[in-house]
Structure formats: C-alpha cells, structure tokens
Structure 1
Amino acid sequence: MRLRRLGKLGDMGLATEHAPNVWELSARLEPTLREMGERGDIIRTMQKALRAEGAERDPMSFQIHGTAPATPIIGRVIDKHLTDELGENLTLVVDGIDGRTHHVSGFDAVRVEDARIGSVVEIGPADSTGRPSDRAIAGMAEDGIYRPSRHLEQARFEGRVPNGDYEGFVDAHVRRLEALRRAGIAERIDADQWRIPSDFEARATAYDAARNARANIRVLSTFDLERQIGSDGATWLDRRLVGAGASDLSASGFGEQVREAMERRREALIDRGDAVRQADGRTAYRRNLIATLQEREVARIGEEMAARKSLPFRAAADGETITGKFTGTVQLSSGKFAIVEKSHEFSLVPWRPVIDRQLGREVSGIVQAGSVSWQLGRQRGLAV
C-alpha cells in the first residue's frame, strides 16, 4: 500500500524514485496535499450551494479566489458563511453572469451585511485609488514641507469648505498625516511643519492598499430577478437595459437567466408605457427612465410608510438641502434609502455608508442627481 501511494505521489510530482525502492519526498508534499484537501472541501461547498438552488455546474467552471479578483465579478450570491471562529471573515459563493461560479473569501462581515442570498453583487479588486486629502497635502507642500497654517489660509481664500469649518477641514488633513507618520511615510518637524517625501501620494496609496487588501463588494440589488421583473422601481435589470445591455452575459448559467429576465423586464416596461418597441425591432425607453422609476417607487413606499408612522411623507427635490434626524433605512428595488425625520414630516433619500454612524442624530445633505452629498460637520472635512 505504501509503494502504491508513493507511485501516486510520483504521478503528482510530489515524490521521485531515484533507485528501486528508494524514494525522495518533495519538500512541498504536506502544503500541497493540504491545499488540495482545502480545495476539495471548497468544491464540495460550492456544489452543495448550487444544488440548493436547483442548479448544476461543471466543476471546471469553478473559480476559487485566494485574494481580491483582478477583474470585477458580477453575479448572484448563492452561499454566505463564516470562515473563521471569531466571526470576522465571510466567504461568498457567487453564480456569475460570466457562466462561472466564484468562491471569494476574506470579506469583512459588517461590509457584506446587505449581501443576502439571492442578492446581485459586484466584487472587484481592492481599492487602490489615491485619496483627495493626499493630493491636497502634496499640492500644498513647498520644497517638501507641508504647513497646516498655509493650508488654512488657502482654504479660507477659496471658501469652498462646507459650513465654513476651515479649522476642522485642515485638522482632518493633519490627522491623516499622523496616521502616515506612524507608518513612516511622513515626518512631523513641529506643530506647523511636516516633511513630505517626493513619492508621498504613491506611498500613501500603497499603505492604504496593504491595509485594505480585501476585495471590494457592491450590492447591485437585494431583489432577486423575479422580483425585479415586476417591480415599479428602478431595478438592476433596468440599468442594464439602458446601459451595458447583454454583451457580457454568458449563454449559460446565471448569465442566461439574466438575459431572459431582461427580456421579460423589457416587455413589462412596454406594457406600462415606460418603453415602446420601434419598427426596426429596437426598444426606446422613457426619457430619464431610471430617475422616473425611482421617484415612482419612493413616492409609493413613502405613502405606505406615512400611513404606518402617522407622519406625512414629503419627497425631496433635486438641489434641496435636506435636514433632520436619521432614524433608519429601507431597502427598495431602486436601492437603499435613508429615513430622515423632522417633527412634522419625513423624507426618503439615497443612503450612503458615510451616514451609518449618524443613526439617531441630526444630519444634513444636498440632494443632487439621485444622490446626496452629506455634510456631517467638523469630523468629516471636505475631500477626506
């Protein structure tokens, strides 16, 4: 049995017979077999998740990502489970529109809270773009020296800081430099002088990338395809219909399901008068389709909530400054919305992660083109 096992290891390149009955084991024997065992466990997990969805996929189409994927993955979450005993890291199994099934590990459990089974997500490379604050610091540096007092003068001269909080704006940049000082990237000379290296921006970006090596995840829709087809809101399918179309969809697997769902959604929009089929077979969609559908859904949900809350709902207009207490969120097919309440009314405005820590507090923001530019006071300076 041992000889037969050695023969098998030899076929795998993990053992070499130098002479009859004289074998040398590879130094990579144990880690290689361990990795193969782990891979086998992962493949069984992926197959189990697919069977629960009533689907079968060729294991050759499975992709196991040990790190953040180099190119974005779009697909449906079919499994979500913890991968460590502390409950800090999550693994997702995603049935991709590319016809492959992806296994991606190492997500922060808090960041993927909204990525439920059935949600459509986009998983991309770790964020490696530079911060606006780093560009501002580098731009203000003279002969390799950054002076907060000089930055404060410039900020006051330009006058573009929200709420006129110039000191808080510059303080935020100094706090960034303190973090980079601990990483050995910047040097504090005195209270008003910092030594900035010539490659400051590149090193600061590399520092952030090393600390945030986890893959980025964006929830495109918490609604499954069937709910999107019949929704009165702006769905992920709508955004594909008026944007990317079906060019990147596989002819099999989830890609094929999305293609079919898009066709059914197109017919639903035509039936409702939001689109028309032209003589050449192409479809023309209502002007500003996404904004119109979003407004329609927000108005309906707002009125339903008003009946339960005994508080009038008021839609926020584009360009309006919205203020009030942030009391919670609601998930619509058009996306996630924040509930902002005043004593006599409430509004629903597009949610952004930056306000999560403000739950139960007064917030203020400007509604612009389907989003909100939140102004959260001194602790969040402009461009930080």
Structure 2
Amino acid sequence: MIAESQDRFIDLHHEPDDPRGQSDRTLRLRRLGKLEDMGLATEHAPGVWELSERLEPTLREMGERGDIIRTMQKALRADGLERDPMSFQIHDAAPPTPIVGHVIDKHLSDELGENLTLVVDGIDGRTHHVAGIDPTRVEDARIGSIIEIGPPDSAGRPSDRAIVGMADDGIYRPSRHLEQARFDGRVPGGDYEGFVQAHVRRLEALRRAGIAERIDVDQWRIPDDFEARAAAHDAGRGVRANIRVLSTFDLERQIGSEGATWLDRRLVSAGTADLSAAGFGNDVREAMERRRETLIDRGDAIRHEDGGVRYRRNLIATLQEREVAHAGEDLAVKKALPFRAAVDGETISGKFTGTVQLSSGKFAIVEKSQEFTLVPWRPTIDRQLGREVSGIVQGGSVSWQLGRQRGVGL
C-alpha cells in the first residue's frame, strides 16, 4: 500500500470485479482499520485513506521491539525464570538511573564486535535490555554475574580534559603534548607516542561528530565547550555507561562462599529498601536471609533473642583475608611456590603473572623467585602482565607504581 499510494493517499472505494481483487481489497481494508486504531491511517471518505508519514518508522520500531522482547523471553526461559512482559524495559542508551541486577543474556549486537547488548534481571523487579555497551567494560561478567549499569559520567573523559588542558588559544598540538608527556614521565610503560596517539584518535572520532576540527597534522581547533559537547556526544551514543561488576558469582555461589560477597556488603550496609517484592529483588531478599544463616552457622554473626543480628567486627575484611589465604594455599600447590599474604602498608614487588577471580573480587598474582602473593587487582595493571610491578598495599587496595613512574601512585 505504501508503494502504491500517491502522496500517502490510497483509493479503495472501487470494488474489483474478480474474486482475487475483492479478497485483496478486503484484506487491505481490514489492515487499514487496524492501522487507524494505531493512529497510523485516516479514512477521509469511504474507501479513501491517508497513510501516516510515521507509518514505516513506527512499524519498524515496533517490529524491532517485538524481536527484543522475544530475545528477552528466550533468555529468561533459558535461565528457568518467568517474568511479566509488562516489566520489560528497553534502553537504547545508558539508563538515566543505575540498574542493579544479574546478567541473563550477553551478546554482540553488531558484526564488528564493537557493541554489546546485555539483558539484566534487576532488583527493581524489572527486566532490562541495554544496548550499546563497550565489551571491554564487562569482560569479567558472565551469565549470573551481578552488575550495576549507571548513567554516563557527567565529568567526561580524562582524555578530553587533557586535550583542553594542552590547548593553547583553542589549538591542540600533538607534538607539544608528546613533549609534555615525556617531561612529566607519568605514562604507564613509557609508551609516550601511543599515549598521545590515543588522544588523536579521540579527536578523530569527535571530528566526525562535528565537535573538533583538524587544521593540519599537528593542529586541532578545540571549541570552548569541547568537554561538554564531547560528554553529550558520548551520552547520546550510550557508550559511556558506567558499569561495575559487583560480583562474578551468582546468588547461589555467594550464599555458601567463604569469601566476602556482594550479599555480605548488602547485609552490613545497604539493607533491603531498594529490593522489589517481585522478580530478582525477591530472590535477593531470600538469598540475603540464607547468607545470614550461613554466617551465623560459621560463627561470623550472632542472632539475638529479639531477632536482630550482629556481625563479626570487620566482617568484610575478615572474610576476604580468609578466602585469599585459602586461594593462595591452593595456588601454591599448583605453582610449587610458597604463598605469603600481603599486609597493610607493605610495599610489594615482583612480576605480575596473572589474575584469579574470587568471591571477594579479582586479585593480581605477583611473583618473586622465592614466593608469590595475591593483591587486589585494578584495571591500570593489565598492561603490565609479564612485567615487574611495585605497589603499596593500603586499606584493601594497592597504589601501583608502574614503569618509570616509581613513587607515583596510580
């Protein structure tokens, strides 16, 4: 009908003589009636209809939404779950408010592998479909992992702030940035050229968006509102969603874990006010109660006569130390190398040889010739795999001192 319409009008007032034409006209009229109910067609005279200019995009969007809903239902069934489709929420970009829940589906949404789609069963009682996720942000997340997806970082990217800081009278020069980077000596691994080229690649992307202008190979024009426009560009594309993997372990594994879990952190601080009485929110309520009983049975918590529960002092740190010690002992057998636990305030050094994922979090393996230790992992150390590293253990984290920047914590 769209192809045969003239200026979006189609005339069906004449009834064909042949049975096939009559049948086709009847089907079209019935379809037009349905489109009229949807606000996408209008009958101006008997048999004379006007098709809405929104007809094609609206139906295409509805078809895509239908495909998404079927994908979400399939993922739920694969996980043995049932959710009301009315609770489905489809996000084309980063959600305006944080979503917390467990991953029930994770798949690439384009052929280039640059964008990921997640289906998250939320503690708010809704099932969320979030597209446009950077795959590198959720490499550790598996089906069942607990994650948080939040709105874009309004502060913008550090690279954008660096570009503005290096711009002189609105002109950014990569050569000047390279000189400054070498003078400061704070680039991980000493790859100064690669560091500056990363900023140039960012400018190339923003040039295509009309935000920056390339004058020549060593000059870029940076507008006064560069940071704000760059942040708005990222937010519009949905690629700057803030994502945290809260636990790679599903609820069942957390309940019996010997380490510090996401459930433990909720038990000692967050409570249940944000948990829906339905769906995954209710699952978390039940899991928290089972985890509480596990802690009581192990002597890490005490239930009072009034029903209240008091947890061991420094519960999270105690559980983490216990799990790390056991994981270290197991690794020591495989490595044929003694394990030594790091203590707060200690400077640790050695070769970064890999990572281990525990319920307490992700830990880096740092080896010396005679022993190895496990310390909390941070993304900044990934590029140092197989290299010598050094850092200070402080309050359950590590201030890493990498490459030529000895003495400068990252």
Quickly name the TM-score band, shorter chain normalised. Answer: 0.7 to 0.9
- Preserved CA contact (<8 Å) 1:133 1:383: no
Provide structure 2 residue ranges, at least 5 long, that are not aligned to the other structure.
1-26
Say which one has the larger Rg.
Answer: 2
| C-alpha separation in 1, matches of 2:197 and 2:110 | 33
Deviation at 1:278, TM superposition (A): 2.6
Deviation at 1:214, TM superposition (A): 4.0
Deviation at 1:375, TM superposition (A): 2.2
Query: How many pairs are equivalent?
Result: 375
Deviations 1:133-161 (A, max 9, x none): 87789899999999989xx8xxx9xxxx8
Q: Residue 110 of structure 1 is aligned with which of 124, 136, 144?
A: 136
1:91 corresponds to 2:113: no
What is the identity, as a one-letter code, of the residue corresponding to 2:150?
Answer: G
Task: Tell which deviates more after alignment, 228-237 or 174-183.
Answer: 174-183
Q: Residue 53 of structure 1 is aligned with which of 62, 79, 82?
A: 79
| C-alpha separation in 2, matches of 1:180 and 1:210 | 16
- Preserved CA contact (<8 Å) 2:93 2:236: no
| C-alpha separation in 2, matches of 1:313 and 1:235 | 23
1:258 corresponds to 2:245: no
| C-alpha separation in 1, matches of 2:408 and 2:391 | 13
| C-alpha separation in 2, matches of 1:86 and 1:186 | 27
User: Which residue of the partner structure matches residue 152 of structure 2?
Assistant: 126
User: Which residue of the partner structure matches residue 239 of structure 1?
Assistant: 265
What is the identity, as a one-letter code, of the residue corresponding to 2:297?
Answer: D
What is the identity, as a one-letter code, of the residue corresponding to 2:377?
Answer: W
What is the identity, as a one-letter code, of the residue corresponding to 1:113?
Answer: E
| C-alpha separation in 2, matches of 1:82 and 1:20 | 49
- Preserved CA contact (<8 Å) 2:186 2:405: no
Q: Residue 340 of structure 1 is aligned with which of 359, 366, 376?
A: 366
Deviation at 1:187, TM superposition (A): 10
| C-alpha separation in 2, matches of 1:204 and 1:380 | 33
Q: Residue 290 of structure 1 is aligned with which of 313, 316, 319?
A: 316
Change (3 A) 1:366 1:105: same
- Preserved CA contact (<8 Å) 2:94 2:235: no
Change (3 A) 1:217 1:141: closer
Deviations 1:236-261 (A, max 9, x none): 00000011111111111111111011
- Preserved CA contact (<8 Å) 2:107 2:116: yes
Q: Percent identity?
A: 77
Deviations 1:165-189 (A, max 9, x none): 9xx8x9999889867876566999x
User: Which residue of the partner structure matches residue 355 of structure 1?
Assistant: 381
RMSD: 3.7
Deviation at 1:38, TM superposition (A): 1.1
Structure 1 SS opposite 2:152: coil
1:28 corresponds to 2:68: no
Q: Residue 94 of structure 2 is aligned with which of 61, 64, 68?
A: 68
- What are the equivalent positions in structure 2 for 1:177-326 lying under 5 Å apart? 202=228, 205-206=231-232, 209=235, 213-326=239-352
| C-alpha separation in 1, matches of 2:230 and 2:404 | 23
1:43 corresponds to 2:42: no
| C-alpha separation in 2, matches of 1:73 and 1:273 | 33
Deviation at 1:216, TM superposition (A): 2.6
Provide structure 1 residue ranges, at least 5 long, that are not aligned to the other structure.
none
Change (3 A) 1:195 1:12: closer
Task: Tell which deviates more after alignment, 171-180 or 23-32.
Answer: 171-180
Structure 2 SS opposite 1:218: strand
- Preserved CA contact (<8 Å) 2:106 2:119: yes
Deviation at 1:372, TM superposition (A): 1.5
| C-alpha separation in 2, matches of 1:293 and 1:186 | 53
- Preserved CA contact (<8 Å) 2:116 2:133: yes
The structure, 1 or 2, with the larger RCO (C-alpha pairs under 8 Å, 6+ apart) is 1
- Preserved CA contact (<8 Å) 1:187 1:196: no
Change (3 A) 1:366 1:180: same
What is the identity, as a one-letter code, of the residue corresponding to 2:362?
Answer: K
Deviations 1:107-156 (A, max 9, x none): 2223222111111111111222246687789899999999989xx8xxx9
Task: Tell which deviates more after alignment, 138-147 or 359-368.
Answer: 138-147
- Preserved CA contact (<8 Å) 1:327 1:339: yes
1:81 corresponds to 2:107: yes
Deviation at 1:352, TM superposition (A): 1.4
Structure 2 SS opposite 1:24: strand
Change (3 A) 1:187 1:338: same
Deviations 1:316-339 (A, max 9, x none): 111222221111111100011111
1:327 corresponds to 2:370: no
| C-alpha separation in 1, matches of 2:75 and 2:406 | 42
What is the identity, as a one-letter code, of the residue corresponding to 1:216?
Answer: N
Structure 2 SS opposite 1:267: helix
- Preserved CA contact (<8 Å) 2:94 2:240: yes
- Preserved CA contact (<8 Å) 2:212 2:221: no
Deviation at 1:230, TM superposition (A): 0.8
What is the identity, as a one-letter code, of the residue corresponding to 2:390?
Answer: S
Change (3 A) 1:164 1:53: closer
Task: Tell which deviates more after alignment, 268-277 or 132-141.
Answer: 132-141
Structure 1 SS opposite 2:110: coil
1:376 corresponds to 2:402: yes
Change (3 A) 1:197 1:102: closer
- Preserved CA contact (<8 Å) 2:132 2:237: no
Deviations 1:17-47 (A, max 9, x none): 1111110111111111111111111111111
Deviations 1:241-284 (A, max 9, x none): 01111111111111111101101111111111111123432211
